[in-house]
Amino acid sequence: MTARIPAPMTRILRSVFVPAGARVVGGCLRDIARDPTCTVHDVDVIVHESAAPRLLAACRRLPHPFVVLDRSRRIYRIVCDRSGAGTIDVSVYGDLADDIARRDFTINTLHVGVEPFLHWVQRGDTARLLTHCADWYGGMRDLRRRILRVVAPIAFSDDPLRILRAARFMAAGYRPDRNTDRLAHRDARMASRIAAERVAMELRRLFELPSYEAVVWLDGTGALDTLLPEVCSMKRRGANTARRRFYFHAGGLWEHARLTLKSVEAVLRRFAFHFPQYHAQLDDLVRPDLHLLKLAALLHDVEKPAVARRDGERVRFFHHEERSAHVAAAALRRLRFSAQEAGRCASLITHHMRIGNLCHSTGAGDRAFVRLFSDTGDVFPMLLVLSLADRYSYAEIPERAQELREREMPVFRRFVRQLAARWFAWREASCAPRLLSGEDVMRILNIPPGPAVGAVLRALDEERSLGTLRTREQAERYARASGGRPSARDRSEASAS
């Protein structure tokens, strides 16, 4: 029999929740109705307050983590396996009809006793399960029609995060009915009340899906400006006007950012076309951080207006990459993304011009490529996608589309394919043990731990990647010759920071 839910979850539901008369509700039933072959990892269960004290005491005795998610709203979680993939979320209700009426969308209002749900787990009889489901708000009809419909007019004002959740359902193929769309526009400004951690969680989920159209809808409601004030700033400062037309896209800088996101998703859909040899490996490397790639696409030029300068007939945006990276990192930290996530997104934006610059450079040697790989590390696969998408966004401009399609993009695609091959070769070589360790460098040069040691190690790595150092003896001679003095490049980076 196919494991439809994790085995520990089955045991817990049977031993703890069946005796309490609990009911399964919402998301997992929606997913089963859409795909009867699906594997369920997360189950939402509701229990009447009269049975709650005994049930919660039994939950605390389980050999599994039991977490209080919201004490005032009486919401709890059982983590059923060590990976965290199997969870049971438990909420306590006083009146069942009132609890269901406070759900977000009709497709999430289906509910059924735990016993029939476990019968589905054992037998896979989806028709029987759905027959037992209570459907008070037409959720099954809306599932079949892929309609997103709020249960009550206060759905978004009660919890504004539901506007973001609506965007995620749109990315999954649902469309809001007219009333739901109207209410989202009405209540969009309330998005400022959402806790930052919840916004981050929902953005991660949204950007795992093809989300361009959903982001356009979210922008149309006004919620995006509230959640990302940087976008609002981009629209205001980066608009083309009669006296100040700095941007190729008619809609200004925000149109370019939006179309870059659209192009990211177009590149991902055609990975095999863009990278025939490495598409599977690159896909595995890019997918875990899609949310960072897409946020970088939206924010990669956010500070262009701050540095825009006319140079004859041209407009220059010197150092906009570094400034945009700083703003994007601050935005991610504000939304409580991890420091590592903020750093990776900032790295993408900092380096997003370098692939294009290398493509057009006639004098770039191997050292330039090695430094790009070293500076970007495992962010580089996402940088390939962002660089392609940045170029493709200009294909939406009628006067540039033909030249871009017929001349510029074929050259650039060949270049990034070659660059991908170089990166995989560099990555394999860089996995080999270093010729010298940090302790070796300190002993040879008689210097204490510090930045000088790191500078020598980076220089050794670079020379080895170029093939100029192959043995330990050569590395020792190189280290002695350097004397522990930072390179011109290291001095430049230190002064910049």
Per-residue pLDDT of the chain (497 residues; tens, 9 = 90+): 345 888 889 999 999 999 999 999 999 999 999 988 888 889 999 999 999 999 999 999 999 999 998 888 899 999 987 665 689 999 999 999 999 999 999 999 999 999 999 999 888 899 999 999 999 999 999 999 999 999 999 999 999 999 999 999 999 999 999 999 999 999 999 999 999 999 999 999 999 999 999 999 999 999 999 999 999 999 999 888 766 777 778 888 999 999 999 999 999 999 999 999 999 999 999 999 999 999 999 999 999 999 888 888 788 899 999 999 999 999 999 999 999 999 999 999 999 999 999 998 877 788 899 999 999 999 999 999 999 999 999 888 887 778 888 888 999 999 999 999 999 999 988 888 888 999 999 999 999 999 899 888 888 888 888 888 888 999 988 888 887 665 555 544 444 44
Tell me, what amino acid is at 481? A
Tell me, what amino acid is at 273? F
| H/E stretch holding 66 | strand 66-70
Q: Give me the pLDDT at residue 242, please.
A: 66
Q: What is the CA radius of gyration of the chain?
A: 27
- 266-272's contacts with Cβ under 8 Å and 24+ in sequence apart are 266/389, 266/392, 267/385, 267/388, 267/389, 267/392, 268/385, 269/210
Report the predicted TM-score, pTM, of the whole model to 2 decimal places: 0.88
Pair type for strands 87-93 and 75-79: antiparallel
Tokens at 97, concatenated: 């009809």
Interatomic CA distance for residues 203 and 197, integer angstroms: 10
Interatomic CA distance for residues 279 and 268, integer angstroms: 9
Name the DSSP letter for residue 44: E
Q: Give me the pLDDT at residue 487, please.
A: 57
Pair type for strands 314-316 and 309-311: antiparallel
Could you tell me which of 495, 454, 494, 490 has the C-alpha nearest to residue 479? 454
Tell me, what amino acid is at 111? H
Interatomic CA distance for residues 418 and 411, integer angstroms: 11
Q: Give me the pLDDT at residue 459, please.
A: 87
Q: Give me the pLDDT at residue 403, please.
A: 80
| Phi and psi at residue 109, to the nearest 5° | -100, -5
Task: Let me know the angle formed at the C-alpha of 128 by 124 and 133, rounded to the nearest 5 degrees.
Answer: 110
Q: Give me the pLDDT at residue 490, please.
A: 53
Could you tell me which of 428, 413, 260 has the C-alpha nearest to residue 349? 260
